Amino acid sequence: MSVTSYTLTARTLHWVMAVLMILMLAAGLVMSDIEDPALKSTVYGLHKATGILVLLLAGFRVLWRLSHAVPAISAALPVWQRRAARLAHGGLYGVMFLLPLSGWSMSSAAGYPVSFYGLFTIPDMVAKNPELAGILKDIHEVSANVFIALLAAHLGAALYHHFVLRDDTLRRMGYRKTPK
């Protein structure tokens, strides 16, 4: 069955996760430079807990995606653009998992258990191992850079569709009804 827009759940998950992931990126990039020790520890704690929340939402999102129809990428586009869109979307799904999983395992390997907003402590993913923590930190950093590159392409494509091609690509991910 073909559909013309994303389900309300898919749209809501897209925008909630977009905001969370961009805030996570910003926090990750600045938090090691914070001077005040109390503020630094709060931001690290929020970064880790919210990353785990992103992981949970990503899991639910993939299950939802696999069990619901999505609008087809416009057949009017050149083949390379349709391929690039699929590749970028796949990559964005990839970093939704890779970033939290590398962050969580890096914290465990560094010997810092992860608290979920002070409510409970999440089990360690791996045993303490400083050498492994260094490798996982590199993976976390590289994934963050891949995310930045994918996001730039994704945002550029969304704006190009909306303002240059003037098609309904952005609208079908939005909440306003498409004008007839």
Task: State which of residues 16, 25, 43, 46 lies at the interface with ligand HEM (CB under 6 A).
Answer: 25
Distant-in-sequence, close-in-space partners of 121: CB < 8 Å, separation ≥ 6: 113, 114, 115
Residue 115, SS3 per DSSP: strand
Using the minimum distance from each CB to ligand HEM, give the nearer residue, 111 or 141.
Answer: 141
Q: Does 114 bind ligand HEM (CB under 6 A)?
A: yes
By CB under 6 A, which span of 33-41, 75-83, 123-131, 169-177 interacts with ligand HEM? 169-177
Q: Give, as ranges, the residues between 69 and 108 that touch ligand HEM (CB under 6 A).
A: 70-71, 73, 85, 89, 92-93, 96, 99-100, 103-104, 107
Q: Strands, E, within 81-129: which ranges? A: 114-116, 120-122
Residue 139, SS3 per DSSP: helix
Distance of CA 128 to the CA centre of its chain: 27
HSE of 46, CA atoms in CB hemisphere, 13 A: 15
Binding mask 35-74 for ligand HEM (x = CB under 6 A): ------------xx--xx-x----------x----xx-x-
Using the minimum distance from each CB to ligand HEM, give the nearer residue, 57 or 180.
Answer: 57
